[in-house]
Amino acid sequence: MSNSLKSFAWKDIGDIAKGRPTMGVKMHVAVYRMFQYSLRNVLENKYGKDAIKHILVEAGRVSGIEFCTHLLDIDLAPPDFFDALKQKMEELGIGLLEVVQADFENLIFILTVSEDLDCSGVPVSGETVCHYDEGLVMGILEKYTGKQFVVKETDCWSTGHWACRFHVVAI
């Protein structure tokens, strides 16, 4: 591995309070989606859809690890941890998380996210689009449990569902 490779780190976000004293932390969801879908489109046209799915999952995973490290408490028991995650996701405008099924022993979960930042309201294409979110869940749970996960979005606004549904399994 080359020394020039680096991972996203929480400090890359910078000091928002200092940098945006008037604008603060807020921005419009349209701006986030404009960035994500334009970048995604350019990359897909150049490298192909499958390659970009993997990149988005990996970017989400790295973000999830940092998110968990800096915004959550990994010493909490599972129910409290998921409650804290729910609160944080709502507070940051990511979406409304529900834990539909949780098997803490085998680390198998079904999660839904409604009013999702990435997809709620997008045109229905028949294909799920929340690959970044798959990675985010993967990274958060990896940091929390020390295990690796496979996360698959089965329902999405883009497949005609009102909430995203994620099947989560430890590997």
Residue 65 or 111 having the CB closest to Zn ion: 111
Task: By CB under 5 A, tell whether 156 contacts Zn ion.
Answer: yes
Is 111 near Zn ion (CB under 5 A)? no
- Give yes or no for residue 130 binding Zn ion (CB under 5 A): yes
- The only residue of 138, 151, 164, 168 in contact with Zn ion, by rule CB under 5 A: 164
Among 68, 89, 119, 163, binds Zn ion (CB under 5 A): 119
Task: Tell me the window of 52-60, 63-71, 84-92, 149-157 that interacts with Zn ion (CB under 5 A).
Answer: 149-157
Specify the pairing of strand 96-103 against strand 163-170: unpaired
- Strand ranges inside the chain, DSSP E: 96-103, 108-114, 149-155, 163-170
The minimum distance between CB 166 and Zn ion, in angstroms, equals 9
Q: Shortest Cβ contact with Zn ion: which residue?
A: 156
| Pair 97, 89: CB distance under 8 Å | yes
Check residue 97 for interaction with Zn ion (CB under 5 A): no
Q: Give the separation between CA 85 and CA 98, rounded to whole angstroms.
A: 10
CB count within 10 Å of CB 44 equals 14
The b/e string for 50-72 (b: 16+ C-beta within 10 A; e otherwise) is: eebbebbbebbbbbbbbbbeeeb
Give the C-alpha separation, 140 to 39, whole Å: 24
| CB 153, min distance to Zn ion, A | 6
Nearest approach in angstroms of CB 158 to Zn ion is 6
Task: Based on the shown chain and the rule CB under 5 A, indicate whether residue 56 belongs to the binding site for Zn ion.
Answer: no
Q: How far is the CB of 133 from Zn ion (least distance, A)?
A: 7
CB-based contact 78:141 (threshold 8 Å) = no
Nearer to Zn ion, 85 or 129 (CB): 129
What are the residues binding Zn ion (CB under 5 A)? Answer: 119, 130, 156, 164
